[in-house]
Amino acid sequence: MSFDLILTGGRVVDPSQGIDEVTEVAFKDGRVAALGDRLDRGQATVQDVSGKIVTPGLIDLHTHVYWGGTSLGIDAEEFARMSAVTTCVDTGSAGPGNFAGFRKHVIEPSQIRILAYLHISFAGIYAFSSRIMVGESHDMRLMAARDAVEVALANPEHIIGIKVRIGRHASGDSGIQPLDIALQVADETGLPMMVHIDEPPPSYEAVVERLRPGDVLTHCFRPFPNAPVDGRGRVKPAVLAARERGVIFDIGHGQGSFAWKTARAMMKEGFAPDTISSDVHALCINGPAFDQVTTLSKFLVLGMSLSDVIAASTVNAAKALQKPELGTLKPGSVGDASILSLDAGSFPLSDVRGEVVEAKERLFAKGVVVGGRWWHPA
Map out the domains of the chain with their CATH numbers: 5-55+331-343+361-375 (2.30.40.10), 57-321 (3.20.20.140)
Closest CA to 65 of 48, 55, 47, 77: 77
The answer to whether residues 279 and 289 touch, using CB atoms and an 8 Å cutoff, is: yes
Per the document, the length of the chain is: 378
What b/e string do you get for 74-95 counting C-beta neighbours within 10 Å, with b at 16 or more? bebbebbbbbbbbbbbbbbbbb
DSSP-derived pairing of the beta strands 337-350 and 356-370:
antiparallel
pTM greater than 0.75:
yes
**Where are the strands (E) in the chain, listed by range?**
5-8, 11-14, 19-22, 24-28, 31-36, 45-48, 53-56, 58-63, 85-91, 113-119, 159-166, 193-197, 216-218, 248-249, 337-350, 356-370, 373-375
Question: Residues at the annotated binding site?
Answer: 62, 64, 163, 196, 219, 279
Beta bridge pairs of residue 45: 5
Question: Residues at the annotated binding site for Zn(2+)?
Answer: 62, 64, 163, 196, 219, 279
d(CA 326, CA 318) in angstroms, rounded, equals 6
d(CA 301, CA 327) in angstroms, rounded, equals 23
CA quadruple 277, 103, 176, 258: dihedral, nearest 10: 20
Strand order in the sheet with 24-28: 31-36, 24-28, 5-8, 45-48
Q: Which residues of the chain have pLDDT under 70?
A: 377-378
**Which residues, in sequence order, are CB contacts of 99 under 8 Å at separation 6+?**
116, 118, 124, 151, 155, 159
The answer to whether residues 17 and 330 touch, using CB atoms and an 8 Å cutoff, is: yes
d(CA 117, CA 93) in angstroms, rounded, equals 8
Closest CA to 148 of 95, 187, 94, 89: 95
DSSP state of 87: E
DSSP-derived pairing of the beta strands 53-56 and 5-8:
unpaired
Please, how many CA atoms are within 13 Å of residue 374, restricted to the half-sphere of its CB? 18
pLDDT for residue 125: 97
The answer to whether residues 18 and 41 touch, using CB atoms and an 8 Å cutoff, is: no
